[in-house]
A and B are shown apart, each in its own frame.
Chain A
């Protein structure tokens, strides 16, 4: 009998962070612009020392303008989607649940499309509109998914599917009314795009804000991880053991939806990560949610950074959308996982 200890969780997370760091470093090194590791390192040092003038303009452009924001965004999006996926799998008691099953991404997409039609050149309009779309969908599905005043998993799932279909229909309608350039932007946004420019010039501040929201939401979900372990053996049983099931469901729903909305408004809909990373982490580290939530977050970050690196180097100079890469890699993994379960 070896119960989970905080030390074991921390140790595993540190190990995974090491892997993430390595992957990020490799990703930083790869790209069409010829820059050596030495130059990258010296650019970082000069930046830390505040000596921006010492760095050639192009090095700065490539490292801080192109590669680092992309990697940072990849980490954020991957962590958000995986954590949200783990949360939804527990909330809906369904191992096939992913962050999009409750329609949040369709809401965000609708918001983004409306903003592209209404305010195409306003910087940052897409992100804000997408987030508003996501938030509205979260609220609507919450109220539809209740039964007897409490969140009921099958009802919630139905409400989410209905919302997703309805929103998709509206999106289709709008797409027919949209001209060529907007259509292009929407298509790329829908496939997942980590290169979208941030809404402000203060890139680090923006990234910091996003990470702050991530930590709030993921942290809130983490506080319910003991409860989730119990709920997974049965809601009634959990209630008899003293778990406030309604409160836990509410917190997990809001936290997971916020994480999904965050990821989708920033980079469009990237699939498979929220579904598969929690399962892989379960296979590696067990089903205890106190371990699963942090490992899924870091695992998701690793997955997206890897996928993005491949997406921009495999068919250089053309860049594949990240969503295409995760789908390509994700489908075989999904099949493998399903066969293991059958055994």
Chain B
């Protein structure tokens, strides 16, 4: 069907316009692919090996090149910061997270943000030779992103106390502090052995380790907390493969653990109040352990795979098996059994992100 000249020519114009547009788009894409291949190839050649570097595989299976001489270290978790200071390498630490507060000197170091969302540019700005991360609190994406930038990230993956000691030794080697590492590990191991010697013959105490009160969350058997408890002569009444299983109070009442363990944060909060509060609640009242006051406030260190963990193990062992430790007075930090000072804070989540707790 014929059309007037203007309509037909307008149609032609549209056709030409879209054809031209299509051609331009194709040309741009072609150029983009060329550019991509060029710079992509260049990026793939990012220096992964230079003079003075060695290849290392970390505990998650990632391979990277780390300089022989490590002068600048950035840590992405509080327990790693603690380890670095325990090795006496506080001077080499150029950056840590805003949650790192043990030892207090760590609070004064430049911060890169939170362990879960560290600012990558801030890390780059610190010119680190090595970044330390851990699977217990950091995201895999952070480590991947830093590796892609060419910054080596050693991620530890602690599941047991022994494993934690091995990690400390390995990290010490990487930072060039072999002697300090060996010494620290030996010291920690001897303390553990001392505890073990006393309680090896005793039966394991059945305990419930409370990560979060409501909903009631405890630890699974594959966590290093569970392993630490075993070193302290206790065993979780809940057996689960998940790391942070949620359980019902009924189940706990049925199992009637001998002891209830709570974590505390660093600030002092009400002590006897907490025990009375729990005694008043119908759910907790049914537990014999609450009725008998067999509640232990565990130092925060139990949640971190760091040197302080050993101290927490010692504390728990003292609390649970006082009869074999009564001759040692370890003084501060360890509560006598009869005057149980229950320090429990419900503010864990506000103080620190509770990444152990189900979202």
Contacts and interface: CB of A to CB of B under 8 A. Distances in A.
Quick check: do A and B touch in the complex, using CB within 8 A? yes
Interface of A: 6, 31-34, 47, 50, 52, 57-58, 61-62, 64-67, 120-121, 123, 175-177, 179-181, 183-185, 187-188, 193, 195-197, 201-205, 207-208, 211-212, 215, 219, 312, 316-319, 321
Given A47-B39, A181-B136, A205-B37, A32 B242 contact: no
A177 B122 CA distance: 34
A204 B35 contact: yes
A175 B359 contact: yes
Interface in B180-232: none
A319 B148 contact: no
B140 A205 contact: no
B225 to A, nearest CB: 12
A64 B43 contact: yes
A58 B40 contact: no
Interface residues of B, number: 54
A120 B120 contact: no
A195 B60 contact: no
B131 to A, nearest CB: 13
A34 B141 CA distance: 24
Contacts of A176: 242, 246, 358
A197 B124 CA distance: 16
B141 A50 contact: no
Q: Which of B40, B150, B358 neighbours the largest number of chain A CB atoms within 10 Å of its CB?
A: B40
Nearest to A116: B140
B32 interface: yes
Contacts of A179: 242-244
Contacts of A61: 124, 149-151
B272 interface: no
A312 B35 CA distance: 29
Contacts of B36: 202, 204-205, 207-208
Interface string B158-184: 000000000000000000000000000
7 closest A-B pairs by CB: A202-B40, A204-B36, A317-B119, A33-B121, A205-B36, A32-B121, A32-B122
B318 interface: no
Interface in B111-145: 111-114, 116-122, 124-125, 127, 135-136, 138-141, 144-145
Nearest to A34: B125
Interface string B267-288: 0000000000000000000000
Given A121-B140, A180-B243, A197 B122 contact: no
B55 interface: no
Given A197-B148, A208-B32, A319-B113, A215 B122 contact: no
Contacts of A183: 355, 358-359
Contacts of A312: 119
A324 B355 CA distance: 19
B339 interface: no
Interface of B: 14, 17, 25, 29, 32-33, 35-44, 47, 60-61, 98, 111-114, 116-122, 124-125, 127, 135-136, 138-141, 144-145, 148-151, 242-244, 246, 355-356, 358-359
Contacts, number: 136
Contact of A65 (B98, B111, B127, B148): B148
B145 A195 contact: yes
B16 to A, nearest CB: 11
A203 B121 contact: no
B130 to A, nearest CB: 16
Given A32-B122, A176-B358, A179-B243, A208 B33 contact: yes
Given A317-B122, A318-B98, 11 more contacts: A64-B43, A66-B121, A180-B355, A183-B355, A183-B358, A188-B139, A201-B40, A201-B44, A211-B29, A317-B98, A321-B117
B124 A120 contact: no
B326 to A, nearest CB: 38
Contact of A32 (B42, B119, B127): B119
B29 A65 contact: no
Given A318-B113, A319-B117, A33 B124 contact: yes
B4 to A, nearest CB: 17
Contact of A188 (B32, B61, B141): B141
A49 to B, nearest CB: 12
B157 to A, nearest CB: 9
Contact of A197 (B17, B35, B145): B145
B358 A121 contact: no
Contacts of B40: 201-205
Contact of B119 (A67, A193, A202, A319): A319
Contact of A202 (B25, B44, B60, B121): B44
28 contacts: A6-B17, A32-B121, A34-B125, A50-B38, A57-B150, A67-B121, A121-B61, A176-B242, A179-B244, A180-B355, A180-B356, A184-B139, A184-B355, A188-B117, A197-B141, A201-B44, A201-B148, A202-B40, A202-B41, A202-B43, A204-B36, A204-B43, A208-B29, A208-B36, A317-B111, A317-B112, A317-B113, A318-B113
Given A64-B43, A183-B359, A185-B140, A58 B33 contact: no
A32 B25 CA distance: 36
Given A33-B125, A204-B36, A65 B149 contact: yes
Contacts of B122: 32-33, 316-317
Q: Which of A176, A179, A187, A312 neighbours the largest number of chain B CB atoms within 10 Å of its CB?
A: A179
